[in-house]
Homo-oligomer: A and B are copies of this chain.
Amino acid sequence: MHDLVITGGTIVTAADTYRGDIGITDGKIAALGLGLEGRDTIDATDRLVLPGGIEAHCHIAQESATGGMTSDDYRSGSISAAFGGNSCFVPFAAQHRGMGVTETLDLYDSRATGASVIDWGYHLIVADPTEKVLTEELPLAFQRGVTSFKVFMTYDLMKIDDRQFLDILTVAREHGALTMVHAENSGMIAWMTKRLVDAGHVQPRYHAVSHPALAESEAVNRAISLAKLADAALLIVHVSTPEGAKLVSDARMEGAKIFGETCAQYLFLTRDDLDRPGMEGAKFMCSPPLRDTATQDALWRHLQAGTFSVFSSDHAPYRYDETGKLANGPEARFNQIANGMPGIGLRLPLLFSEGVNKGRITLQQFAALSASNAARLYGLTEKGSIAIGMDADIALWDPNETRTVTAEDQHDNMDYTPFEGWSVTGWPTTVLTRGKRIVENGELVAKPGQGRYVARARIDLTGYPGHRAPELDPATNFGANIAPGAAK
């Protein structure tokens, strides 16, 4: 007799699709079969039963280096994520210059604990890699289960230089952490921005011009080069160009431990959206910026071919009012407008509708991109699939329901969505975290604070092209070469 049984659904994992019941006990998946019985039942007839989504790139309760705060906190952010089919998320804990890492993590703990309705972890943004941070605090962060570090190659107050990047990669390699990078060339953006502003080209559409594709491809190449030198694993987040994707793909084939991520907006929107009248374009500003339809095609191909292990929202919620996009007034120049757009609740419905329902990806790929890949890559060892012993993080989907997207339906703290008016087919109806209902039939049934912090494991690179078991690794004892990647 299980605590809860989900009956009559079609179970989907990264490997299989099959009819079956799921028995849940103590928050774990305990049985898969037919005719299971439990004290409580969820009827999944006509539903797909999927691993609960893991949103691995989102900005929640995060202030920028200059003090502005995202409009979503852990309460509203986690609720919107749950309505979008997610059982878990991994926002950023952002170290700013002058802050310690432990201090940073404690601060974010205070923001998340008691607020989140789903489970969570943190990626640590490292903006100030002092000697103390490198030798003492990053290992401590790793010990408390923060096993991924993010760095920026652009943004004046966040960016690190190439040598600092190598130092962080080195620490990450030693501990088994994954480094993530926002890869755009800072100098190119600054130079372009100055020229545009000097010429009076200040409307939102020039945001895209100021962040040329070359700025991404250059930085991606540099980041990969640094990771090769350090022989360290590296994830390029929000890849937005074919050139960037190809660099990731080529590096993998050549045996570098490079991973890629892309985001919903790059598949579904273009820079034409920045051209809307007045300041409307500000709603579509993010970095890297939206590109064009040829780029969309290329990114789909790479998503299909496995170049991107992770597919995210990069939810960065700034309202279209004076607290957010319009903080510098309705005449603000593009470089005075907060970057980012919301989407934590739409990542999966959009991928399902445009991906699965239009035949671009299989249900297996959807499960992998929803949850399984992120779970493996980020060390969420008890999440991300439907198998015995795993956390009962589960999402029921109605693959046929069609809804029109509205901002109000997002359950976040935003006043707009860039996907307003889109017709989307395929929606999550019920979402569980550790066997507890969070959303049921479209209603929130969880209480804030119901989520738990998840300490993540070291990343496991087994089977990845660039990885070798210690006994096979010529770089293990690299002697005088000092840089593992320089061993050859």
Contacts and interface: CB of A to CB of B under 8 A. Distances in A.
Interface of A: 11, 13-20, 23, 30-34, 36, 161-167, 185-188, 190-192, 195-196, 199, 201, 206, 209, 212, 214-215, 217-218, 221-222, 225-226, 228-229, 246, 249, 252-255, 301-302, 304-307, 358-362, 364-365, 367-368, 372, 385, 387-390, 460, 462-465, 467-472, 480-483, 485-486
How many copies of the shown chain assemble into the complex? 4
A304 B253 CA distance: 9
Given A192-B482, A307-B253, A362-B462, A34 B388 contact: yes
Given A15-B385, A372-B15, A390-B18, A360 B469 contact: yes
A359 B221 contact: no
A390 B13 CA distance: 14
Contacts of A191: 162-163, 166-167, 229, 483
Contacts of A255: 301
Contact of A472 (B246, B360, B385): B360
Contacts of A20: 32, 387-389
Contacts of A480: 196, 199, 201, 206, 209
Contact of A165 (B13, B187, B221, B389): B187
A225 B229 contact: no
Contacts of A166: 187-188, 191
A463 B364 CA distance: 9
Given A301-B253, A372-B15, A186 B209 contact: no
Max chain B C-beta neighbours (<10 A), residue from A201, A365, A469, A486: A486
A486 B13 contact: no
A225 B213 CA distance: 10
B212 A217 contact: no
Contacts of A13: 13, 15-16, 387
Given A387-B15, A463-B362, A187 B209 contact: no
Nearest to A217: B225
Contacts of A462: 359-362
Contacts of A215: 229
A462 to B, nearest CB: 5
B229 A16 contact: no
A302 B254 CA distance: 9
Nearest to A482: B195
A482 B209 contact: yes
Given A13-B15, A246-B253, A196 B482 contact: yes
A217 B246 CA distance: 17
B214 A229 contact: yes
A390 to B, nearest CB: 7
Given A163-B187, A196-B480, A199-B482, 10 more contacts: A13-B387, A32-B33, A209-B486, A214-B229, A215-B229, A218-B222, A218-B226, A253-B301, A359-B470, A360-B462
